[in-house]
Structure 1
Amino acid sequence: WEDLFCEIKIYWKTKAIRHWREKILKKFVYSLPGIRNPASLFHVFIQSNAFYLPQILSLIELPYSAEELRWEIWPDGKDTDEIKVENNADEVDKFRCGSLLQDEDSIVDYYSKIKRCNDVIKLCKNHLKEVFIKGLTPKNKHFALMDFEYIFPPDLPLDVLVIMLIQVEKGTTSKLLLQACLDFISQQQRFAIYKSPIGTYKILDRRRKMDDNRKPSYI
């Protein structure tokens, strides 16, 4: 359900979502007792910004599965061209469509911009992380997708990833990177369920070669 709700938020301004929410609002308005001019009230509702996803969902009974609702909204599949935006679009619309870029911003400024936009759109943490990584500069994206994903568990929180990228920006990654990895693993208490301990040993060996004078205390 969480993935579907994020998809709806991303496609919120498209024709399919607009048709879906207008159908729900119309059914709701015409079911209200004592309304003399339901058409007028319906028109007011569809022009209003008061009805976002939580309000729309409160007016319906969800189907048995997310796939049923997805099919109801997009019976012919999603049109990805509908979520493209022009260069002069505002930050929130660019964020919604996954085209908000870091460009010349620092990691701190870019992350602040992403969070500010998500205060409006309210994507789940996984989709927010995807959007954040997608907009990074090629160099930072390489660190996020290659180096960090190799070292850390795949569910590394976005705020920890941001801390790592800030250190990359400052050129002070090696010692902090390992320590943050170990701290995160320790806090989550997930030693027993890691599937690839060999990869961890490889990265520890790589980091030791980078800093021969510092022998980790846990080895």
Structure 2
Amino acid sequence: MRGKSTLGNNTPLILIDGVPSDSFSQLAPQDIASLTVLKDGAAAIYGSRAANGVILVTTKRGESGKPKINFSHAYNVSSFTKRPELMDVNQFATYENEINARVNGADADPLFTPQDIAGFPNTDWADEVLAKTSPESRTSLSVSGGSEKAKYFVSGDFIDQKGLYKSGSLGFKQYQLRSNIDVNLTDSFKLGVDLATRFGKRTAP
């Protein structure tokens, strides 16, 4: 929200349901009820940690009524914006021989003879190693409901990202569960219990 501060970084303070968090990028979008950005005087109540502003994230909570079930699934495909066209062995060797002739004279011995070129393998490693596309899927399911005395909200989220290696050795999977229960013990006393857990597995060659 602003440049370098006295703390040596420009990271705002992120609060998810009042709990500090390093990032909200892993938070399931469908779980967000509201997002508020505070800065300067409005953020002063959070002390020195709010020198770069505060981002307040409030997640959804249960509402009285019959159970409501929400399900969503998204599938995306990513690919390179542009892949360079590479020279093959014959083109590269010819190019290097032409440079050598311009620098050292037309009578100079070529760097690569026809026999050299014929003996080199001609493999496009980018085409062999990299896939054309990288798929990503996200599945979310939430259930909410309750009565005037007790309300609940439970949400599960699963992300599966594939890398751009044909071998499948690059990828990311994440499982996330959030739940909250609000209980009205008396007319003036309410108890709330929140649970949030996330497990991620990242693979790389």
In the superposition, the TM-score normalised over structure 1's length comes to: 0.16
Greater helix content: 1
More strand by proportion, 1 or 2?
A: 2
